Each structure stands twice: as structure tokens, then as C-alpha cells.
Amino acid sequence: MLFLKFYNNQLFRYVFVAGINVMAGYGVFVLLIFLKLHYIIAVTIATIFGILFGFKAFSRLVFNNKNNFLILKYLLVWAVVYLLNIAGLTTLNYLKINNYIAGLIMLLPLAIAGFLLNKKFVFNKINQGVAD
């Protein structure tokens, strides 16, 4: 039951759910590309899906929270992580690091930032227990 031991760790659950969220969002993107939608439309729909799916999944499975009104705070955290990503990629690009490698380099810091920001500002104890 090693999995259950890890599952009791909130950071592990966050990484696990984030992985599922990425795969689900990418699946939506691939399906829409397969259906011949323009890539900008496909990525926009996939991103919206990823945000909504991620909010519900992180709320319930990681932070045990049922307050749907927290989505505005979640969107703000998502915007901050996005801006951190852009800043990091811009810096790494300036340092002449390949964009594929730069994206990989940014994964871990962004995952940590997302976890900490969500835990502190979105799914904190103050916001616990508010009804759906």
C-alpha cells in the first residue's frame, strides 16, 4: 500500500492530479485538431477545459474543498503562474536555451509555484467548508 502512503501526501496528490489534468487537456487539444479545428481555437478550448477540470480536480482531490466560488482566485493564481512561465521562458530564451529545453526547465518551478499559491491563496483554511 505504498500508493496510499503517497496519496496521503498533499504535494503528491497535486502532482498526480496535475499529470491527469495535463493529459486530459492535451487529449482535448488532439481531438479538436483531429476534427480539423484551427490550432488557436483548439488550444483555447483545451486551455479553458484544463482550467475548469483542474479547478474541480484540485479542489476535491488535493485540497478537499467544495467552494466553487474560489474559481476567481484560482484564475488569478493561474494567471500569475502563466506570467511566471512567460518571464522564465523569456529569460531562458535570452540565455540562448532551446525553447523545448526551456519549457522542461520551467515545469518543476511552475508546479511548485502553482501548488504553493493554490494552497496559500485559493484553498487555504479560511476558504474551507463553504458550501457549493
Residue pLDDT, tens place only, 35-44: 998 888 888 8
Predicted local distance difference test score (pLDDT) of residue 29: 87
Q: Report residue 53 as a C-alpha cell.
A: 477540470
DSSP H stretches of helix in the chain? 2-7, 10-34, 39-57, 71-94, 99-117
pLDDT at 9 over 80: yes
Predicted local distance difference test score (pLDDT) of residue 2: 65
Q: What is the pLDDT of residues 68-124, one digit of tens each?
A: 899 999 999 989 988 998 899 899 989 999 888 988 888 888 888 988 998 899 988
pLDDT at 130 over 70: no
Predicted local distance difference test score (pLDDT) of residue 122: 92
Q: Report residue 62 as a C-alpha cell.
A: 488535493
| DSSP one-letter code for 18 | H
Q: Which of 86, 89, 87 is nearest to 102 (CA)?
A: 89
Distance CA(87)–CA(40), nearest Å, equals: 22
